[in-house]
Amino acid sequence: MGVPRSSGCMLCVQRRVKCDERRPGCTRCETYGRPCPGYEKRFKFVVGKPFRSQRRLGLSVGQTQGVGEPNIVSSNMRDGSQAIQQSLIQSGPWSLQSVFSNLMQSLDILIDDVSHPFPASSTYTAARWFNFLPVVYGKNRTLDATIKCFAAHHVGMMTENKQAIWFARSTYVEALNRLQRSLYNATESLSSEILCAVLLQCLYELFANTYDATSWMKQAKGLSQLVEARGCGRYQTEFEHTLLKASRGLIVMHSVFSGEKCFLASSDWHTVMRQQFDFTLAAELYVLVEDLFGFYTAIPSLLHQLYGFKKEASEGATTRSRASELLTQALDIQDKLAAWYEKLIHAVPPPTESLSSMRDTLYPIVYSFSDVDTATIFSAYYSYMAIIHAALRLCQYPGDHAAMVAYFRDQICKSVEYNARGLLGPYRLGFPLRVAYEFADPVTKVWVESWLQRLSRTYAAMLPRNYR
């Protein structure tokens, strides 16, 4: 038992965030709509190993694990388990009932785990929208059920509690039933709360569904239709704009796999998404991120052209116009990315090389980045370039494009160890690892599958069978 050393308010200390120490109550608590508990110091319990330890996760083929080697997923899960235990210990023995009588506390822990192990300043849109969940909870029953579902699943996974995981599944059924009714209500269906619920349900499918590899696609299709139906003019508040940006990766991926056109590729949607409501990123880097996402919205069209061309070639039915169209599009994106990359390397530090902390045998030298946002940006760039060179190779454009595809594939793989950390690590790596797997030789494919197996323990969408 000890005394907290931080001078911040008790809630900020509990959430492990910086407190501005304003009197009588801090600004952060006010922002979250929570009464500030003040600055009186209390005793806290320090508990060691409150739950049984996680199983050791699988390693790459031919790889052995050394003493003290970090385990990326399980170490995070142990941290989450201990945080939950410590935060609920004053309520008595841990139970599912105690968690949901303290749902806000559970959400605070979820938000902390989403950004872990990176500082809050490095949680761009992919994680930042979770901060709104405590504020919007209680405003809509469909969203409330969805939040309970996602929080219960997180608690269950962090503590290996099957009761919590089953509670999440049953609450998800309730959330789906409520969503169906909400969508029949003309006013409620277009509300920000329903958009948030659909986005969170899609993430639940990605994290939890080990049975149906296409289930997230159904949710992503609904998310795409809802975002488009609401129209460009509905994203004028920070909350709605953040939801739009958190949704767009899923919308693009749905377009890639469904073969449907990506509506976000239009100039009107680009204009909406370029608005800056938060200043987590500096203005210069924010513009570069938005430029990169503009290229990302063109990727579905390029991939559809690429695979259409490959299919026609295999059937001996290729046309000059098809090849010309694919080549023109690939060269256009390549030129834009080249100019963009020159700006990027002057705005952010490039990755540095270091020895793999996991003693990787295939990639013993890996990349470290200044922060998770930069790592995500570089990984996306490597992915786009691999796709572009694959298209140029298929069009028989001059140059050693096979070598360039392999080079950018390896750049992705060298970035995985850094990017895989934390609860959202698998989410950030979904597209880059898909690209790496697509262009992998047999040895690299085995390596990618070992990572997929490891990450799928918390992110079901990455089960290796879903990539084959």
> Would you write out the chain's pLDDT as a tens digit for each of its 468 residues?
333 445 777 777 766 667 777 777 777 676 555 677 776 543 332 333 333 333 333 333 333 333 233 334 334 444 444 444 444 333 333 455 555 567 877 788 788 888 777 765 555 556 788 989 999 999 999 999 999 999 989 988 888 888 889 989 999 999 999 999 999 999 999 999 999 999 999 999 999 999 998 899 999 999 999 999 999 999 999 999 999 999 999 999 999 999 999 999 999 999 999 998 877 778 888 899 999 999 999 999 999 999 888 887 776 666 777 888 899 999 999 999 999 999 999 999 999 999 999 999 999 999 999 988 899 999 999 999 999 999 999 999 999 999 999 999 999 999 999 999 988 999 999 999 999 999 999 999 999 999 999 999 999 999 999 998
Domain ranges of the chain: 1-38, 101-262, 299-467
Reduce the DSSP state of residue 223 to 3 states and report it: helix
Reduce the DSSP state of residue 354 to 3 states and report it: strand
Residue 31 neighbours by CB distance under 10 Å: 10
CA–CA dist 316, 264 (Å, integer) = 34
Residue 313 neighbours by CB distance under 10 Å: 13
The predicted pLDDT at position 318 comes to: 63
Q: What is the four-CA torsion angle of 411, 414, 415, 420, rounded to 10 degrees?
A: 140
pTM of the complete model: 0.79
CA–CA dist 83, 44 (Å, integer) = 12
Yes or no: domain 1-38 corresponds to CATH 4.10.240 = yes
Nearest CA to 424 among 376, 468, 378?
376
